[in-house]
Every structure is written in structure tokens, then in C-alpha cells.
A and B are shown apart, each in its own frame.
Chain A
Amino acid sequence: MLSYILRRVAIAIPTLLLLIIISFLLMHAAPGGPFTSERPLPPAVLANIEAKYGLNNPIYVQIINYIGGIITEFDFGPSFKYKDRSVNDIIAHGFPVTLTYGFLSFAVAVIVGGALGIAAALKQNSWLDYFAVGVSIGAQVLPNFVMAPILVLVFTLWLGWLPGGGWNDGQWNHLILPVIALSTSYMASVARLTRSSMLEVLHTNFIRTAMAKGLPYKVIIFKHALKPTLLPVMSYLGPAFVSMITGSVIIDMYFSTGGIGQFYVNSALNRDYAVMMGITILIGGLTILFNLIVDILYAWVDPKIRY
């Protein structure tokens, strides 16, 4: 197991490097640059700016300097658009925000979605099943960019219970709407996956054998059926967890949370190279990490898997 982990970590380093180089090249290949604007800058002014940010160097020098800066000083560069702040500042402020609402949304999605899915599977074709399926389909077809303004309309304007946006250092009442908006569609997916997976497991031979042996129902469900049920759900949850904790542009936009989700999209539109690279590396690194964690968990859940 240990050698497997070490091998995966060893592969992760060139993967990240490749990610950096390809993203860097793609980004520079996009038309326009960070200082392309409706009012084109005079050449002398543009030259000064490019010299300041090292954009006048050949692209391979820029890549080497960029990677060098990360390795030697953990410096991800400046933001070209938000000139008062560096990429480190932006991530240091934004990531804890997305981590908070993302983690909470993940917890809600797993707990509520998992419970709904299991309950629906155990009482298949009962009102509970129809209810759970109904809720999850409803949640799935209601995308968060529709959900967010509706939540604000209902809870802020009509009922006046909750603030319509802002973060306020993560005060609880600012968390509720973003967490609901972000978690619903994930919750729906978790519920449906859990339900179908559980149904499949309940119809396998080993469960039938356990039933025939006369084992108590609780033991069958929690000891024997639950673990194999989780396998497909877990492979969904790994990437879902990363995408939740790295934020959502919709949540950040509608609730002004200040997370990094919107920076990711905006930095691409603004050609704010360093910000986009920084967030790409963060998301890439986390994706690699959580895929590894999921693989390790697999081995724990399913004794048939050996590394």
C-alpha cells in the first residue's frame, strides 16, 4: 500500500508540471492579453507594463520564471487586474471561503442525499421512494443559477430572514443560502446513485444468502450492504468534493461570497494569467490528491481490491 501511495505521488509531480505547461501555453494562445482594452494603451505605456510583469520575455523564459518562483518562494505572481493584490493574497482570502461553504455543502449533500437514497431503496415503490426520487429529480433539474436568485427573492426580499449576500467572515446566516444552492444538485446525484447502487446490492446473491441465513435486517443493511453500495457513490464523491471546495462561479457571483470560483472564470475572461494559473494548479493538485484518497478508500471498502 505504501509503495502504491509513493508511486502515485511520484506520478503526480510530472502530471502537475504538464498541467502547468499546457495551461500556460493555452492561455497565452488565446487572443488578446491582460492589457487588451477598449482603450488600447499607447505602446510606451504597454511596454512599461509588460516589462514590469516580465511579459516581454520569450514564453519559455516566462514558464521557467513562473515555475521557479513557485518552487523557490512559493510565489504565484501578481494579479494583472486587481493590482492591489497578488495571487497568493487572492487564494489566501478566497480559498478558505470556498472551503467553508464547499465542505458544508458536501456534508449536506452526502448526509441528506445518502439518507434519501438508502431510504428510497429499502422501501422501493413506496411513497417514500417516490418522494425521494421526486425530490432528487426536482433538485437536479433546478440548476443553481435558477435556485440562487429564487432563494434570495424568497428568503431575503419576501421573508426577510436571511441576508441576500456577502460573507461577513462566514457568519452562519450568510452561509445558509449558498450552501442550499450549491448542495442541492449534488445531493440529488448522491441520492440517485445511492438508491440505484443499493437496489443492485440488495439483489445480489450474498445478500440473499444473508437473508436466507436469517441474519437481522439491520446487520444485513449496515454490515453487508452499505459498503458495496458506497463504491460507485465514492468514485462520484471524490471529484465532486474537489469541485465543491474549489467553489462555484455561480455561488460566488450570486451571493458575493468572495470565493475563488468566480476568480477562476473571470481570470480567464480577463486574461489575468497568474490568477488563472494559480487556481488551475490549486484545483489540479486537489483533484490528484482526492483521486488518490478515493482509491485508498476503495481498498478499505472493498477487500477484493488490492494495490
Chain B
Amino acid sequence: MKFSKSSLLASVVGTALLSTSAFAAGVHPETGEKLADDQTFTYRVLDEHSSVDPAIVEDVSGSELVRNLFEGLYNQDNLGNLVPGVALSHTVSDDNLTYTFKLRDNAKWSDGKPVTAGDFVYGWQRAADPANASPYAWYMELMSLENAEAIIAGDMEVSKLGVKAIDDHTLEVRLTQPLPYFALMTTHATTFPSPKWAVEAHGAEWIKPGNIVSNGAYKLETHVPQETVSMVRNTNYWDNESTIIDKVEALVMNDENVALTRYLAGETDRTEAPAGQFPRLKKEYPDQAVVFPRLCSYYYTFNVSDSGPEEFKDVRVRKALAYAIDRRVITDAVIQGGQFPAYTFTPAVTAGFEVPKVDFADWSQAERDAKAMELLAAAGYTKDNPLEFDMVYNTSEAHKKIAIAMTQMWKQKLGVKVNMNNMEWKTFLNERGNQNFELARGAWCGDYNEASTFLDLMDSGSGYNDGKFNNAEVDKLLADAKSSTQPQANYTRIEEIMAAEMPVIPIYHYTNTFMMNAQLKNWPIKNAEQNWYAKNLYKVAK
């Protein structure tokens, strides 16, 4: 997780070796595998992307496109470690507030112009500029950039943002507080550079094919809304020599079953396995069905705010409900996608996160059930005076199945009566965000690969803390972790407090279940954030 100089240096050397090695046609330069003649990578996306403008993009499918079209200061390797992008290296001042990035001098835009530090300054200013109203403007604040907050609020000129081009190849960034994982944040699409001349020439239309100028390994060729986006090799890209995939195509398919059929018909190289079908697919296509952990948590949150029910203010009730859920049944019998039963909020796959010893994780389910019955009885609920509450989830077949399984477990083991409700997504968010619920479904995916991206939700001041859990010790541990170089102990302690207080019921940690063409190689399955770069992929011959 921590950014290390030596690994960076190793990757610089590695990249240099790669680009100078003889690139024999038709053979992979490192592995010697015979390459397929057609190096087109086609993948399915669930929905049309929001934008391919790095300063504006907010969704996953848009970020995937941006990551292939543009290149930021750093990229991630297959494990999620930093490797040089436009930046070769950086230095940090003694007070940890000033970062100086050294940029490579051979990086070029797709129109041949050099990529300069000024392009990053312009890109970051665009992201923060209130006139652009980027939904990801807050990322500039999250990075603790100097004056970002005032600029976004419209109280300061955008030129005062804490980022400066010392010369064409030196970028200086000033922070308001030390941020140990700052360098990691520069792999995010919002921090990618923008070509000022193209933006000024075409205005809002600059991201359309024909107008767009980009500095990544690919350039945008066509975009047919709601159907396809295709990208082709950017011959001006500095590492074009070692890029193998020639063309990348994203096909929009809203329905996962049709997407699977079209995958099986050979129309795409990658699609998601529909819920519940993974075991069958794994059996029929063992070389194509892949599963790996994902940086996301599925949970239910108690409303412990003033508007929440009295029952949930009793920690014994919260614990009893959390204990009585047999997570194995949910992962293995209900959703069947290889998910991991969760006893902590933060997924085990999170970089640097050591899963703390949480007592109920080690018990058998029978022990958990016994404890749950004991706790609920102690809280004063019996067969004649059963616990009753409402639970709500957003409308979806999968959520419904899980909710039914949970309520059945509660009913059978504890005699609890639950009224299930489902709501359409935006209504659900509105109600949950305003604490108009008793027990609500939640899911969270990490914005970056560090435990604080999950645990920050437990901060009493967090806008994402829907249950309004409020614990002074957690707040302090989180605040201290921000500037600590060894925050792991804090994270462990927070998880212990959560296990003791049970503000949320962790259910499972997500997996990605893909169907992937067996010819497609080097997919970063060990990169928990799934930040993939088509330039690192290749297809071998059959």
C-alpha cells in the first residue's frame, strides 16, 4: 500500500527494458507466447458512460474509458502498486505538504504536442472550477489541495489552486495537511491532464470524436450513444511500442443475460456472470469463468439517530440481529458468486488492512445463534413480545433474495417480525439519506485502496453515515489516521469498536465474477480496485 521509491525505480527500469527489447512480430516480448493476429479487446458495459472528460467523469464505465484515453501522473500495475505514468518520480518536502513531480519529456498528446506540467495544472483547475460544475470537484478537496475548498465554494479564483508548473516537466503540488496516500490518489481520472487548446477550440464539444485530443495509449475513434465506444492505438503515446492491443471496444448491453449470450456467441471478450449463474458457468467453462475479490462491502445499517426506533438503541438487539445471520447461506446458497462472508466492514482485500480478530467471526453459527437468542432475551423480547421492525432495500431481485433469507433466519431463530419494503433507487437514497428508515441496505466500494475509504463512513460528521453512528473514539482514531504513517492500528481498533457496537451488519464482501475470453491475458485480477489498462493486456493465438 505504501508508496515505495524502490518499487517505482524497479518499474521504471522494467518499462525501459520492455521498450528497448526487440519486439518480434507475433510473439509477446516477455513471455514468448504467440500472439493472436487480431488484437481487439471488446468488453460489455452495463450502461452508457457519463462522460469521457477527465475533469467531469463520475462513473465506473466512464473512468475505464478515461483511463485508456488519458494518462495521469501515475498508473497502477497488476497488483495496484504505483508505476510511472506521465510522472517519472516525485519528492516530498520535509513537512509532507509539498509534492514535486518530475514529468517525462517524451510524453505526447494524440495531436503530437508535448504533455507538460501546465496541462495538469489546467486539468486540475478545470475539475475545481465552479463554472465547470464537476460532480467530482470534491476529489480536489479530498486530495487536500491548497485552496480547493474556497475555490469550489466560489470564494477564490481558480488560479490560486495549490498546483503549479515550475517548468514544462516539473509539477509542484501544495497540500493543506499531510496525506500519506496522496501519490496513490493521482491514478484517479479526475487528476488527469486536459489539453487547453482543444477545450478552448471546441468548448463542451471537445470530447467528441474528431475534436478530442488525449494523451493515453488510445484515442477515441467512434462513439455511438448507447451502443458502442471504440478506441484505437494512439501512435503518439510514449509507450506505444510495447502496447499490444490495437483496438478497444466497449459495447453497451443493459441486460446481463443477453450480454452472456452474446459473449458466448463470441461478440465480446469479457462480461459479468449473471447473479446465481456462476457455479454453472464455472463448471461448463472452467477456463473462462473467473472470480476474484472486489473492494466493496454489502451491509445493512441501523438507524441509531434520534429518528430511529428505540429498539435499535439497545446494542444487544443490534448484536443479536447481526449474529443470527448465517452469512455462508447467503453467499453459498443465495448469491453464489464466490463472495466472502463479512464480519468486518472493511474487506480483507484492502491494501495494508489486517483483518482484526473479531470474536463472532470465529464462532460457529450455532454459537452465534445461541448468543443471539441470549442477547435478545436479555433485551426483553420474547415469543409473546416479539421484536418488530421495518427493513428497506432498493428494488432488485438479488437484494430481495438476500432480504428474504435474512428475515427468515431472524424469524426462525429469534421469532423477530420484519416488514420488508423495497424502493426505487433515488427514492431509497432520499429516504436513507434523511434517516427515514429503521434498517436499510447499504453497499460501499472503495474510492482508493486504503481502509479509510470504508471506515470514514463511521465518522459522525460523514455525509455517508446514514445510520448516524456517533462514537467519539472512532472520530478521533479516524482523524489521527489521516496524518499517521502507520494508521493500521487505528483501523483495527475501529473495527473492534464496530464489532462491539454493531452500527452496521456486515453481510458479505463482493467479488467480480467474469466470463473472460481464455485468449485474453494479463487481466489485473489482483488489482482490488480493478483499474485496468488495455495497454497491458494482450491476446494469445488459439
Interface residue ranges, A against B (CB under 8 Å): 30-33, 35-42, 44-45, 48-49, 51-53, 81-85, 89-90, 93-94, 148-149, 152-153, 156-157, 160, 163-167, 252-259, 262-263, 266, 269-271
Contacts and interface: CB of A to CB of B under 8 A. Distances in A.
Contacts of B254: 252-254, 256, 262
A52 B262 contact: no
Interface in B476-490: none
A113 to B, nearest CB: 27
B138 A164 contact: no
A49 B426 contact: no
Contacts of B69: none
B267 A269 contact: no
B307 interface: no
Interface string B136-167: 01100100000001001110000000000000
Contacts of A167: 224, 227
Given A31-B426, A165-B262, A40 B464 contact: yes
21 contacts: A31-B427, A39-B464, A48-B137, A51-B133, A82-B48, A83-B50, A84-B52, A84-B207, A84-B208, A94-B225, A152-B258, A156-B261, A164-B261, A164-B265, A165-B262, A166-B251, A167-B224, A252-B254, A254-B255, A256-B253, A271-B426
Contacts of A256: 226-227, 251-254
A164 B50 contact: no
Interface stretch (B428-436, B492-500, B523-531): B428-436
Closest 9 CB pairs of A and B: A32-B426, A52-B133, A258-B226, A164-B262, A32-B430, A31-B430, A253-B254, A48-B130, A258-B227
Contacts of B426: 30-33, 36, 269-271
A243 B248 CA distance: 36
B170 interface: no
Contact of A157 (B56, B149, B261): B261
Nearest to A250: B255
A85 B62 CA distance: 14
A65 B307 CA distance: 39
B424 interface: yes
Nearest to B151: A44
A94 B226 contact: yes
Contacts of B53: 83-84
B265 A156 contact: yes
B251 A37 contact: no
A253 to B, nearest CB: 4
Given A44-B152, A256-B226, 8 more contacts: A33-B426, A36-B426, A39-B464, A42-B141, A45-B134, A84-B50, A153-B261, A165-B251
Given A30-B426, A164-B261, A256-B254, A41 B133 contact: no
B264 interface: yes
B228 interface: yes
A306 B51 CA distance: 55
Contact of A166 (B135, B228, B464): B228
Contacts of A90: 225
B266 to A, nearest CB: 9
A163 B267 contact: yes
Contacts of B133: 45, 48-49, 51-53
Contacts of A271: 426
B160 to A, nearest CB: 16
Nearest to B136: A45
A37 B429 contact: yes
Nearest to A40: B463
Q: Which of A31, A163, A262 has most B Cβ within 10 Å?
A: A31
Contacts of B253: 165, 256
B447 to A, nearest CB: 8
A252 B252 CA distance: 10
B251 to A, nearest CB: 7
A100 to B, nearest CB: 14
A54 to B, nearest CB: 11
Interface string B421-451: 0001111011101000000000110000000
Contact of A45 (B137, B207, B251, B258): B137
B121 to A, nearest CB: 20
Nearest to B141: A42
B257 interface: yes
Q: Which of A31, A148, A253, A256 has most B Cβ within 10 Å?
A: A256
Nearest to B266: A160
Contacts, number: 142
B255 A149 contact: yes
B508 to A, nearest CB: 18
Contacts of B464: 39-40
A220 B429 CA distance: 64
Contacts of B208: 84
A149 B130 contact: no
A255 B226 CA distance: 10
Contact of A30 (B47, B225, B228, B427): B427
Interface in B15-59: 47-53, 56
A160 B265 CA distance: 7
Given A84-B208, A163-B267, A45 B138 contact: yes
Given A45-B138, A51-B133, A82-B48, A93 B225 contact: yes
Contacts of B130: 48, 51
Contact of B427 (A32, A48, A81, A94): A32
Contact of A38 (B225, B255, B429): B429
A42 B225 contact: no
Contacts of A252: 226, 254
A160 B424 CA distance: 38
Contact of A82 (B138, B225, B227): B225
A72 B444 CA distance: 45
Contacts of B255: 149, 253-254
B227 A149 contact: no
A153 B138 CA distance: 45
A152 B261 contact: yes
A152 B263 CA distance: 11
Contacts of A38: 429, 443-444
Contacts of B433: 36, 40
A53 B261 CA distance: 40
A152 B154 CA distance: 52
A33 B253 CA distance: 25
Contacts of A33: 426
Nearest to A84: B51
B227 A31 contact: no
Nearest to B152: A44
A255 B463 CA distance: 39
Contacts of A270: 426
Contacts of B267: 156, 163-165
B430 A148 contact: no
